[in-house]
Amino acid sequence: MPAEITVVAGGGGFIGGHLVKQLLSEGHRVRAVDQHPVEQWHQVSSEAENLVLDLRLAGACDVALHDARTVYNLAADMGGMGFIETNKALCMLSVLINTHLLESARRLSVDRFFFSSSACVYAADKQLTPHIPPLKESDAYPAEPEDGYGWEKLFSERMCRHFAEDFGLTTRVARYHNVYGPNGTWSGGREKAPAAICRKIAEAKLSGNHEIEIWGDGEQTRSFMYIDDCVQGTRRIMDSTITEPINLGSEEMVTINQLVSTVEEISGITVTRRYDLDAPKGVRGRNSDNTMIREQLGWEPSTALHTGMEHTYRWIFDQVAALERV
């Protein structure tokens, strides 16, 4: 009897590509689905069934979930702060993906459904200063999420909850906090802060012009989770009995200036920092409270920022250098 199919929606994306590889290594039969042509995927695993489908369409979701028993929904139109602050409607349209996937999962008798939410669901008034208390899961309400992207994620969380309550579909929701690592977006306007800083410092090192631009004053705070921790946490949450949305992030909070200093140390150069105070910069402070995940799973993300950024910088440096040789 063939192994049950596990679907990774958004399988051509950064996190999706890593998750597909992990599932394959565990012996799962994997179907990776993405709207982009396969040659544009971040990673392609030949052992997987790779489909190009627009999951905003209900019919495409039926095709994607045919004979599937487990679904990971990582598909969304998103990027770093420069993208989500200027493309709110596009971010909101991702609600079609989760809605149609949930409906297909219900009708096709899928056993388990995972939704990748975001720390952008958290209320803005709890993120006004750099040194805020870590965000607990309950801090999402009263609702005041990031406009556009955060509202879509919060609404889709509720959809998962009500499909579980009304239809008995087993759903799991993780709120990702700033995932980074190799094989991700590092240029073009959708990259997030860790990748953008790695790219800028790699370009500075290769060009000899050691000046970079930083969005904001550099004192805004974040925590950043390495991709390996994200994949491991996603798998653990999916297989758990946790029914409520849960944080999946690091508690190692740093300023953007500290993040730059970390990459300087890794790269072996010191840069001059030029601050653009008018650029998109998001909330003033954000960090993950991992109390719930420690209590529920006896585990939490543990990759040190310096370690993860070293892997990330080396990979991005190679991409920048290869592009300059063309």
**How far is it, in rounded angstroms, from Cα 102 to Cα 160?**
7
What is the pLDDT, as a whole number, of residue 2?
59
**What domains can you pick out in the chain, each with its CATH number?**
5-179+226-248 (3.40.50.720), 181-223+252-287+304-325 (3.90.25.10)
Q: At what angle do helices 227-238 and 14-25 cross, to 10 degrees?
A: 60
Written as one letter, the residue type at 312 is T
Distance (Å) of CA 82 to CA 114, 180, 192, 193? 27, 16, 8, 10
126-154 per-position pLDDT tens digit: 999 998 899 999 999 999 999 999 999 99
When pLDDT is averaged across residues 84-107 and rounded to a whole number, the result is 95
**Average pLDDT score over residue span 3-13:** 95
Asked if 115 and 8 touch (Cβ cutoff 8 Å), the reply is no
pLDDT tens for each residue of 63-88: 999 999 999 999 998 888 889 889 99
- For residues 180 and 166, what is the distance between their CA atoms, to the nearest angstrom? 36
Share of the chain above pLDDT 70, in %: 99
Render 133-171 in DSSP notation, one character per residue.
PPBPGGGG-S----TTHHHHHHHHHHHHHHHHHHH--EE
Query: 2 φ, ψ to 5°?
Result: -65, 150
User: What local confidence, expressed as pLDDT, does residue 324 receive?
Assistant: 82
Residue 160 near residue 116, CB atoms below 8 Å: no
Catalytic residue (choose from 72, 122, 149, 226): 149
This prediction has a pTM of 0.96
Tens-digit pLDDT profile for residues 245-292: 999 999 999 999 999 999 999 999 999 999 999 998 889 999 999 999
Token pair of 141, please?
């309400």
Beta bridge partners of 115: 73, 173
Give yes or no: 176 in active site. no
Q: Is the pLDDT score of 159 beyond 80?
A: yes
Question: Are 84 and 149 within 8 A, CB to CB?
Answer: yes
Please state, as a whole number, how many other Cβ atoms lie within 10 Å of the Cβ of residue 2. Answer: 6
Burial (Cβ within 10 Å: 0-12, 13-18, ≥19) of residue 295: exposed
Half-sphere exposure of 283 (CA within 13 A, CB side): 27
Q: Which positions ≥6 away from 88 have C-beta within 8 Å?
A: 147, 148, 149
